[in-house]
Structure 1
C-alpha cells in the first residue's frame, strides 16, 4: 500500500553504485552481482529501473570515480538521476521520473548503507512511497575512520533490522532478500 494515489507500479532504484563509492565497499563484488541480477529481473518484468549517481566536491561529475561500475549499465530509456545530497529525491527530478511511470513502491539497492541508502529510504517514506530495502543488495565502506561506532557488516545488519519495522500512515518499509523480491506483481 502506498500513500500516493494512482501509483500502483514498482521501480528498482539503484543508488550510487559508482567506482568511487563502492571501490572499497564491504562485499563489493557479491553486492554488485546481486544488484545486476535484480536489474535483469526487473527489466524482464517491465519494471522501471532508475539509476542514481552522486557527485560532490570529492566525487566530481564526469570523473572515473563518478562512473557507474563497469559490471552495471543503465539500459536505453532508463532514467539516470544526478544528485548532490544523500537523499536521492532532494533537488533532483526523481519524483517526476517515478510519477511518469505511476510508481508508488520502490525496491532500493546500492550504496552507501549508512549514508545515501538511509537518507533515500527516509526521503521516500515521508514522500508517500512504500519502500523495500533489499537486505543483500546494499553495502558501505568502513566508516569508522569518520567516527561511526560500528563496521560495515554491523551497519548493514542494523539498517536491515530497523527498516523492517518502519511504517507511517498509508505506507510501509520492508526488507527482503534479492531472491525474494517479486517483480511479477509490480
Structure 2
C-alpha cells in the first residue's frame, strides 16, 4: 500500500546490469542468473519490467561497456530509462513511466549496491513507493582499496538496514528472489 492510491501494480526494476558495471562484480554470474529468473517470471506474469541504464563518460551509449549483459534480454513492452545519476528517479522519466503503468510498488535488482541501488531504493521510498530490495539480486565491485568494506559486507548491511526502513503510508522490504511476489496487497 504505497502512498499512491491509484497505483496498484508492481514493476521489476533492473538497474545498471551493464557489461562494464558488473565486470568482476561480487557473485556476478549468480546475481545475473537470479535477475534473469525474475525477469522471466515477470514476463510470464505480465508484470512490467523497467530497465535502467546508466550513461557516463566511461559508459557511453552504443558501446559494449554500456550495453546490458548478454544473459539479460529485453522484450517488447519493457520500458527503458536512461539515467546519469545514482538515483534512477533523479533527472529521468522513471516516475512518469511507473505512473503510466499504475505502479506503486517497485522490486529492485541490479548494481551497484553501494551506489545506484542504495540511491534508487531511497529515492523511490521518499517519493512514496513501496520498495522491495531483492536480497540475492544485487551486487557491486570491490572498492576496498578506497577504504570501503568488502562487497559481501556492503550487500549484507544494505539488506539488513533496508528491512527496518519505515515511513507513513509505504513499506520497505527485503526478500530473496524466491520470496518475491509480484501480486500487490
TM-score bucket (shorter structure): over 0.9
TM-score (norm 2): 0.97
The one-character-per-residue Cα deviations of 1:128-171 (angstroms, maximum 9, x if unpaired) are 000000000000011122331x0100000000000000011111
Distance in 2 between residues matched to 1:145 and 1:15, nearest whole Å: 24
Aligned to 1:168: 167
TM-score (norm 1): 0.97
Aligned to 1:183: 182
Aligned to 2:87: 87
- 5+ residue gaps, structure 2, are none
- 5+ residue gaps, structure 1, are none
Aligned to 1:46: 46
- Residues 30-109 of structure 1: pairs in structure 2 closer than 5 A: 30-109=30-109
Distance in 2 between residues matched to 1:147 and 1:62, nearest whole Å: 33
On the 8 A contact 1:27/1:139 being kept in 2, the answer is: yes
Q: Which runs of 4+ in 1 moved over 6 A?
A: none
On the 8 A contact 1:107/1:133 being kept in 2, the answer is: yes
RMSD: 1.0
Aligned to 1:4: 4
- Residues 103-142 of structure 1: pairs in structure 2 closer than 5 A: 103-142=103-142
On the 8 A contact 1:45/1:184 being kept in 2, the answer is: no
On the 8 A contact 2:11/2:182 being kept in 1, the answer is: no
